[in-house]
Chain A
Amino acid sequence: MKRFLYELSESWKIAAAQMRSNLTRSTLTALGVIIGIIAVTLMGTAVNGISIGFDKSMAVLGDDVLYVTQWPWKPVDDWWNYRDRKKIKTEYAETLNRMIAATPNSKLVIAVPTSSFMRSIKYSGNQVDNVFVLGTTSDFIVTSTIDCTSGRFFNELESRGGANVVMIGYDVADALFPSQSPIDKSVLINGQLFKVVGVNTRQGTFLGLFSWDSMVAIPLAAFNKYFSAKSDSDVRVKIKDKTKLADAKDELTGLMRRVRGLPPEKKDDFSINEQQAFKSTLDPVKNSIAIAGLFITGLSLFVGAIGIMNITFVSVKERTKEIGTRKALGARRRTILLQFLIESTALCLLGGFIGLVFAYLMCFGIGKAFPSFPIHFSLGLVFLSMIVSIMTGLFSGFAPAWTASRLDPVAALRYE
């Protein structure tokens, strides 16, 4: 064991000396690994960023909220079975709330109706298209991550009375009111004037996924008054304890069957969804992006590894006589193996370190240039790329090191 440590430290010294004396050659060879590590770490940060972006978008849905909808949140093969289902009505929310109140130890907290459609919004010459207009009640804040930077969400009074008030998302506010406060200004939605009472805090959009930033919320009563015609309605239900999601789901299913008046032999004619279901349909997409990206960038690392392998073979050839001498002095096979493995690993580590520095600078630059792109340079990534470098070194050094360790000492000593 002690001997192994001495041999290890000796090998590091040899590797360092070797790199110093062949500086140009080492640098050129390490270049392949440098580029490889840059590619892999940048792709790693991008994948990481994408993943964080997805999760952030998911968080908008809330992990303690169940969604009662006509269609399930997952791809279905038998869509015709769902097409003819009755629509979800906003009135169900009230019925559900009464039932929840009447149930002792209910796992559910509150049901909130939502209706929505896409419209454009105007304010004195400025216009934003395709805004997600949501009609709901003041209870909505309980089920969502609303957090007004300025102003507030509409209150219960405005909610019941169907007042023409609106809370707007960050991007909408930014586009309509580039240089003034939106609060108490009146915006035009589908020909109706609504007074802005609040602006939601910025959430950041990513890959066009759903975000509160491009959305506005108005009282459901007002929504129904002006635009009930062709809207989609859902009911979202907040649950008490997100660790008992399945129980809550069962309870809600029971309540909804009563609302719909379904006899026991009939199947559910509604769907109950949660964030998780949505996630599980998106995860494969996310994963295949990650795998494809890492595979492509991994190729450049592989090319770098071949370069290291090549130069290690050259190094073994050049130093055949030295290997013979070392064997004559008592170096065992594994000593020689270790020596060349460490040489290639040291080269890769050096390349990996330089690559990492470049990748860090690039991340920094990208982050500055495109603030919305969720690029994340983490400590984990540093460790990962160092481990990848070491693995690359071991991979690329193995064949040459093995050849060196198997050299016949007499033949190696005779080598000129």
Chain B
Amino acid sequence: MIDIENITKDYVMGEEVVHALRGVTLKIHRNEYIAIMGPSGSGKSTLMNMLGCLDTPTSGRYEFNGKSVAEMDDDELAAVRNREIGFVFQTFNLLPRSTSLRNVELPLIYAGIEPERRMERATQVLTDVGLGDRIHHKPNELSGGQRQRVAIARALVNGPSIILADEPTGNLDSKTGEEIMDLLERLYERGNTIILVTHERDIAAHARRTVHLRDGLIELDHAGFIPELDLPIAEMTST
């Protein structure tokens, strides 16, 4: 369903040009669980934004469900993000003054769903992630793990085909992180496609396929999580 070929992304900063991606080719199928790893600055977030149709490549081909993303206009991209993609951010990015329910309703509003259905659906999804009793709480009344679960509920509410999570556990302690990973595991088992960026080996170990980036290129792409293979890079990241 995702098919990118030789994608590059350059950022021009005055005189200097930063090559964030230098030619990435990747195929992702329905119901895959992929971890993207790599050192800081290797282009992981850039690649995620590209996959999530938030950003457009400098060159290369990107087909999403058989449609060329380069040919979509702004509104079509917004529609794809709304219906096909669920974002989970490291910093949760909840609207601070809105309740969990209203936060989760947001994608449904943009999809044009009527208020009763919105409410019903959002409550349902919040209950699914274990927050049935927190729907009228505001983000500052929730713990970090609960906030991230609200964010996941928000990503899920429109029934997207892919969940994109950029370091979803980055701001959580390891125990809460594990809870979030259990939730993602459940989503994967229910048939969702999950792409996750992480630094942590423990987190990456949940995925069924691992992609290593280095300096804007794919260094390794293999099934499962192979400690011997994945260890060195993880260590390099931490040094």
Contacts and interface: CB of A to CB of B under 8 A. Distances in A.
Real binding pair = yes
Interface of A: 2-3, 6-7, 10, 17, 21, 321-322, 324-333, 335, 408-410, 413
Interface of B: 49, 52, 54-55, 74-75, 78-79, 81-83, 87, 89, 93, 95, 97-98, 106-107, 109-115, 154, 158
A337 to B, nearest CB: 12
Given A3-B111, A330-B107, A410 B81 contact: no
28 contacts: A6-B109, A6-B112, A6-B114, A6-B115, A10-B109, A17-B98, A321-B93, A327-B54, A327-B81, A328-B54, A328-B87, A328-B93, A329-B106, A330-B78, A330-B79, A330-B81, A330-B107, A330-B110, A330-B111, A332-B74, A332-B75, A332-B78, A332-B79, A333-B75, A335-B110, A408-B55, A409-B55, A410-B55
A335 B109 CA distance: 10
A321 B89 CA distance: 12
Contacts of A7: 109-110
A3 B115 CA distance: 11
Cβ-closest 9 pairs across A and B: A330-B82, A3-B112, A330-B110, A325-B93, A332-B78, A409-B54, A329-B107, A328-B87, A410-B55
A352 to B, nearest CB: 25
A50 to B, nearest CB: 48
Contacts of A3: 110-112
B97 A17 contact: yes
Nearest to B108: A6
A328 B52 contact: yes
A169 B114 CA distance: 70
A327 B49 CA distance: 12
Contact of A325 (B79, B95, B112, B113): B95
Contacts of B110: 3, 7, 326, 329-332, 335
Contacts of A2: 112, 114
A268 B111 CA distance: 78
A289 to B, nearest CB: 48
A393 to B, nearest CB: 21
B136 to A, nearest CB: 15
Contacts of A331: 78, 110
Q: Which of A7, A17, A413 counts the most B-chain CB atoms under 10 A from its CB? A: A413
A327 B112 contact: no
A2 B115 CA distance: 11
Contacts of B98: 17
A21 B140 CA distance: 15
A327 B78 contact: yes
A413 B46 CA distance: 12
A328 B81 contact: yes
A2 B81 CA distance: 20
A410 B97 contact: no
Nearest to B105: A10
Contacts of B93: 321, 324-325, 328, 413
A403 to B, nearest CB: 15
Nearest to A319: B95
Nearest to A335: B110
Contacts of A329: 81-82, 87, 106-107, 110, 154
